[in-house]
Amino acid sequence: LSAFLRQRKAAGARVFPPGPQIFAAFDATPFEQVKVVILGQDPYHGEGQAHGLCFSVLPGVPVPPSLLNIYKEIQDDL
């Protein structure tokens, strides 16, 4: 995956999140401890949105509709 992303970036594709953040999720949870993987339709693709954690944005970044839906479902479920 890393090689593919480097190749795409070298070909001029915009890749999000920035390189050092691509596998940020594994800084929080080591690969060996992952128990669930949630797949979304597509990654955040706006400048400043993606930072390596799915369905997450950094403070100060407007909350995308998909994340608002997740918040709504959590609230409705509780």
Catalytic residue ranges: 42
Phi, psi of 6 (to 5 degrees): -60, -40
User: In this structure, are residues 61 and 48 in contact, taking their beta carbons and an 8 Å threshold?
Assistant: yes
User: In this structure, are residues 31 and 23 in contact, taking their beta carbons and an 8 Å threshold?
Assistant: no
